[in-house]
Structure 1
Amino acid sequence: MTTRPGRRTTATLALTLALLSATQPEAVESTEAIATHPPALQQRLDAALAAKGSDYAPRTEHLKPDGQPRFTNRLILEDSPYLLQHAHNPVDWYPWGPEAFEQARRENKLIFLSIGYSTCHWCHVMERESFEDLAIAELLNEHFIAIKVDREVHPDVDQTYMTAVELLAGRGGWPMSSILTPDGDTIDGGTYFPPAEFTRLLERARDLWQAQPDALRAQAERVARAVSRALDTQGQAAALDDAIIDRALAELLARHDELQGGFGLAPKFPQEPRLGLLLDQALRTGDDAALAAAIFTLKRMARGGIHDQVGGGFHRYAIDNDWLVPHFEKMLYNQAQLAQVYLAGWRLTADPNLARVTRRTLDYVLRDMTSPEGGFYSATDADSDGDEGRFFLWTPAELRAALPAEDADLAIRFHGVTETGNFEGRNILHVPVALDAFAAAEGVAPADLQQQLAQIHETLYQVREERPHPHRDEKILTAWNGMMISALAEAGAALEEPRYLAAAERAADLLWAEARPAPGQLTRVYLDGRASQPALLEDYAFLGAGLIALYDASADPRWLERARELTDALWSRFADPEGGGLFMGEASTDTPLMARPKDLSDGAMPSATSAALHLLAALDQRTDDLRYGQRAGALPAIPAILGDGS
């Protein structure tokens, strides 16, 4: 399953053991498990289904003889591809919002909260095994209010309930599964559950809620207090000075894998914020050790299977130490950050191979992850044609069928392809010998070899395009698009590539037109011509940074004015006047949340607070408004500067 390192917990919660150690349940009779909806809602669901058109293929095993889905729930009304994947489960899902909690309180039911995202492999597994199961659906529909959340749309909700799961279970991951009171406090939680264990969890929770509701509420209140304390502790920080940076760098270099690159043991994530820290240190101070570690990791990743050797771009992480076997999903935020760190590496070293990786990554996004309107899609799945990674794998026979004999032989040698393969009988293309060394052994000039390989990869790309593609999550997230705008604008200026700058400007104009319903206000999600969901701190901060990058690249003052508007709105919407710092989201009075979290630790992405701090500093340097510098100085330092990298 998709996991991340868990926090150590100081107490064992008896309820967790009670829930998971219950005896085997009696069999639940499978019925139609059809939820009854009010007529007005049913009309909306029917209209939304009809609007999908005749080519619509419902994602469910429960179909009528005419191919129509037997079940349709409220998620068909949503703008999240992840939620839409579950719109025809027999589970009567609700989206996150006040309606679900009001219904839970009215019927005095527990809430089952499921959090995941559209390209999550184990989320798909739990859907097939449990959420498509009629008996489990009947159990959920009768005794729970089931809420489905896309963590990419609601990272503030995810962080709050993930903190509870980590405290309870010792680790977190997706899919995240939690049992809540009607008031939204966590009773118990975990990640992926096999069907039998999931059924036991639900039945035991149901029985305890019916027999001991006060005890469960008291337990949930204790968990909520623990979550609040944990989030408050994360928000405590001392002043960020050179001594803290030096300690962070020393720890990071101590964890650097000098044989294979990266930090720590498998699974290995790119950990772009850490690479950025090393490269920034090298730029500011001339630190040779920091530069060497960062460049070594960048080169090793570029040679590994985590790097799509045919199509460009990077998979999310590698499951081994040598970057060979990736988890095959691709995320927009990885492409944006890796393009920036490879560009920074090239600027510091003038190594043309680093510039080539930058270009290939950005070209992949422009070719395969860009909407007709110019926005950037969120992700592609790990699975294709029924198997993980099938789209990206090759056999020697497939290479020989795709290429002329001489090119096929070269591709097989260069990419370490064998008859037995390196992943389930097929081959993940990688570069076991560095290009210059391979060229020397072959007796050819590196530039000539590079040109021949580029032609080979283009041919393989065209052949691969005929295969069944992984699912693509086509929602356009404001924050992630802001990150890609920054990468394209910076690369367009540094590499003197006008098309990158043009793509960045087009995306920024799209968001300004579609994701800005009023001055000083943003939405987070844009999908199928419709904007939705109030924007979070990270949306204002990362889009603001993208606008600053466009201003720096073009000197067009409109980008600076737009960045100022977003920055002023950011401070008014998210600043904590009492505790200091910035909240992840705006306060909500209609949907309960155990705590209002702040994003202070870098992980797979820079924290939202870090992005806001950089934006404020950038405006302090580019305007004469003293407030930006004062606000930057008022923010707490990042307490976990290294984050967890996942």
Structure 2
Amino acid sequence: MNFSFYEWLRGCAIVVFAILFLACKEDKKSNLQQEAHKFTNELVNETSPYLLQHAHNPVNWKPWSSKALEDAEAQHKLVLISIGYSSCHWCHVMEEETFEDEAVAKLMNENFINIKVDREERPDIDQIYQTFAQLTESNSGWPLNVITLPNGKPLYGGTYHTKEQWIGVLNKINDLYKNDAQKAAEYSDMVAGGIAEANAIAPAADIGVLTQQNLKESVANWKGNWDLERGGDKGVQKFMIPSNLSFLIDYAVLEGDNRAMGHVKTTLDKIEMGGVYDQLGGGFYRYSTDADWKIPHFEKMLYDNAQALSLYSKAYSVFKSVEYKNVVWETIAFLEREMKNPEGGYYAALDADSDGEEGKFYVWKESELKSVLGDDYDLFAIYYNIGPNSIWEEGNHVLRLETDIKSFLDAQAISYSDFDAAKNRWHKKLLNARDKRVRPSTDDKIITSWNALLITGLVDAYKAFGQQRHLDMAQGIYQFLKTTSFKNGLLVHTYKKGSVHKEGFVEDYAFLAEASLALYEVTLDGQYLEFAQEMVRNVASKFEDEASGMYRYNAASELIAKIIKTDDGVLPSPNAVMAHNLFRLGHIEYNMDYLKKSKQMLSAMVPSTIEAPASYSKWNALYLNIAYPFFEVAVVGNNAFPFVKDLHQKHLPNTLVVGTETESNLPLFEDRYDDDATYVYVCQNTTCKLPVRTVEEAMRQLQNF
């Protein structure tokens, strides 16, 4: 077909018109986006919910990078580093009051290079500057606002500031830098040296310090700080700290310490009855703002709930409390319902705030409760103590219990089955009503180390209750992490579609190795053991610090000091977890080097465990394994799985339970397989009793070794 010149020209005109029309449409769309946000900074390209919350502040925020520090050097400006996380209430408050104020932003932009850090993406940066805040007796916590020289060495640190306080700080520190840069440099060098010293660990010269007497002294020093009436440690605010209570359970059993066991039971009961536990939806809030566990800080963190599964599952195996079982099952249901990524991992956190108010999603006015519950209200109000004394703020009630279930049933002359039916009815009505409210926002990062803690928590729930679905969930998370967060032999710390994956920290490797060992112990599947072994080798090659005998927090050395995290916080110490991993692998493989390394690491920490036991419980849990008799129970034979499952449902502190249903070259199993029978070998220090053919016989051997 032939076209004339005029037809060709007319076609070109149509194409040009279409291009211009589309271009104008895109320009209009772009202009609308600019109008919707008066300000946009570099954080708009990030995927962290916390950083994105600040992407349209008038402050010229930048994400952490070496280039940002280089810009500060080139422009002769101080660096302002503001650290927080998406579910942090006071982070939101400071943003609204201060970082959204144009006059404050002008002061910051003219005089500082401003960097925003999500502490959950970069816990190493947070750790460095929290250490600085603690050394200088500033307030530590979040938001943490630090002013540094262009080299990252700090001059000032503090948490929440009002707008007026913040302006004063900015002017004062900037004036100091402008008027006496030499003095500022000398001070920052001194502080950086202090941070390095705080992370210095002297290697142990003698493992002879690992005596029962030193461990008893550690616990004795702690006892004076126990709140025996209300549970937990004394203080105006209270955190659950599962690793503390988990250690004390095992210590109380091994040492026969009734006072320690009573304190643990009181604490567990007060927590699960208190407002710090979501009585309707399951799951734990971050901490209690009072000493009675009544009023929580309403954010929900994955790491708290993951560790709570381990704690209450262990507690159930000791105390056989139905309420502890309910806590575990309700928390798992909450996690599945509200924190699970459709792909298989679990999100980091739920915000404390919704619709601009802290706790609004979770609290109730008496009139709302009466409206939703109708005739059920009276019994409900007695059970949850709804009355003048339970009002929190503005007529709102936080649901909590004042009496245990047995006392309540006796007082009301109601059977447990009738009450359970009523309670399910209440909860269904109230959850339906709650779901119509504005929900707290979700921090949808998937953090490797926190998900690894959840794997371990679900395995511990499986051990206690024998529910296959709990094990299936744990295996699903493991597979998700291997698929999304493990590339070319390396772990990443956080995963989110579209994000730039940053290399993992020692906690990611250590916690995932621990989770893999837990899966191996209950499934008998060698793939989990092999992966744990790989993770431990990676830690040795990437993070080992020869000077201390410990492991550095990060593989790179871009920060002003190396971090060697040995104390527990809301997360257990990654070095303590690694020492546990080495100890367990040492017993599985009969690897004497691993056992020696584990003992040397622990020996270096004994002075700290004695001085500050509440901060070193993960180390003390390992101390139990070494100072008291430790047993290996190896089940070998084609019917090993049910034997192992039965053993795991019992509380067996200081005991490694493993098994195989096939021939194996592992030292614990070698030359012990028999086609015709399944045998249980109870061993200590490579010395074994005669094999037995029932769990009951094995239990008697453990008791009378």
Aligned with residue 318 of structure 1, among 288, 293, 296:
288
Q: Percent identity?
A: 35
Is 2:254 aligned against 1:249? Answer: no
**Corresponding residue of 1:301:** 271
Is 2:565 aligned against 1:606? Answer: no
**Corresponding residue of 1:284:** 254
Aligned with residue 482 of structure 1, among 449, 452, 456:
452
**Corresponding residue of 2:15:** none
Q: What is the rounded CA distance, in whole Å, between the counterparts of 1:571 and 1:511 in structure 2? A: 21
SS of the aligned residue for 2:151 comes to: coil
**Corresponding residue of 2:375:** 406
Residue 412 of structure 1 and its aligned partner are, at CA, apart by 1.4
| Paired positions, count | 581
Amino acid at match of 1:152: E
Residues 479, 543 of structure 1: 8 Å contact kept:
yes
**Corresponding residue of 1:621:** 587
Q: What is the rounded CA distance, in whole Å, between the counterparts of 1:271 and 1:578 in structure 2? A: 30
Is 2:614 aligned against 1:642? Answer: yes
Amino acid at match of 2:514: A
**Corresponding residue of 2:350:** 380
Amino acid at match of 1:595: A
**Corresponding residue of 1:32:** none
Residues 77, 113 of structure 2: 8 Å contact kept:
yes
What are the residue-to-residue correspondences of 1:7-86 with 2, within 5 Å?
A: 68-86=36-54
SS of the aligned residue for 1:391 comes to: coil
SS of the aligned residue for 1:173 comes to: coil
**Corresponding residue of 2:501:** 532
Is 2:504 aligned against 1:547? Answer: no
The verdict on how the C-alpha distance between 1:417 and 1:113 changes in structure 2, with shifts beyond 3 A counting, is same
SS of the aligned residue for 2:136 comes to: helix
**Corresponding residue of 1:594:** 560
Q: What is the rounded CA distance, in whole Å, between the counterparts of 2:125 and 2:148 in structure 1? A: 13
Residues 314, 460 of structure 2: 8 Å contact kept:
no
* Residues 486-533 of structure 1: CA deviation (Å, up to 9, x unaligned): 0111212321111111111111111101111112x1000011354611
TM-score by length of 2: 0.79
**Corresponding residue of 1:19:** none
Q: What is the rounded CA distance, in whole Å, between the counterparts of 1:485 and 1:215 in structure 2? A: 50
SS of the aligned residue for 2:36 comes to: coil
**Corresponding residue of 1:363:** 333
Q: What is the rounded CA distance, in whole Å, between the counterparts of 1:242 and 1:380 in structure 2? A: 42
Amino acid at match of 2:441: H
Is 2:386 aligned against 1:422? Answer: no
**Corresponding residue of 1:160:** 128
What are the residue-to-residue correspondences of 1:69-468 with 2, within 5 Å?
A: 69-232=37-200, 239-403=209-373, 405-418=374-387, 421-424=390-393, 425-468=395-438
Kindly report structure 1 stretches of 4+ aligned residues shifted beyond 4 Å. 63-67, 233-240
Residue 170 of structure 1 and its aligned partner are, at CA, apart by 4.0
TM-score by length of 1: 0.86
Residue 481 of structure 1 and its aligned partner are, at CA, apart by 0.4
Greater Rg by CA: 2
Q: Which moved more, 1:270-279 or 1:619-628?
A: 619-628
Q: What is the rounded CA distance, in whole Å, between the counterparts of 2:500 and 2:474 in structure 1? A: 20
- Give the unaligned 5+ runs of structure 1: 1-49, 57-62
SS of the aligned residue for 1:257 comes to: coil
Residues 82, 146 of structure 2: 8 Å contact kept:
yes
Residues 272, 605 of structure 1: 8 Å contact kept:
no
* Residues 249-272 of structure 1: CA deviation (Å, up to 9, x unaligned): 223332221221111122011122
Amino acid at match of 1:608: P
Amino acid at match of 2:615: G
**Corresponding residue of 2:656:** none
Q: What is the rounded CA distance, in whole Å, between the counterparts of 2:86 and 2:333 in structure 1? A: 23
Is 2:548 aligned against 1:579? Answer: yes
Q: What is the rounded CA distance, in whole Å, between the counterparts of 1:611 and 1:79 in structure 2? A: 30
SS of the aligned residue for 1:179 comes to: strand
Amino acid at match of 2:294: L
Residue 604 of structure 1 and its aligned partner are, at CA, apart by 1.5
SS of the aligned residue for 2:232 comes to: coil
Residues 421, 427 of structure 1: 8 Å contact kept:
yes
Residues 483, 546 of structure 1: 8 Å contact kept:
yes
SS of the aligned residue for 2:304 comes to: helix
**Corresponding residue of 1:522:** 491
Aligned with residue 491 of structure 1, among 433, 458, 461:
461
SS of the aligned residue for 1:124 comes to: helix
The verdict on how the C-alpha distance between 1:165 and 1:463 changes in structure 2, with shifts beyond 3 A counting, is same
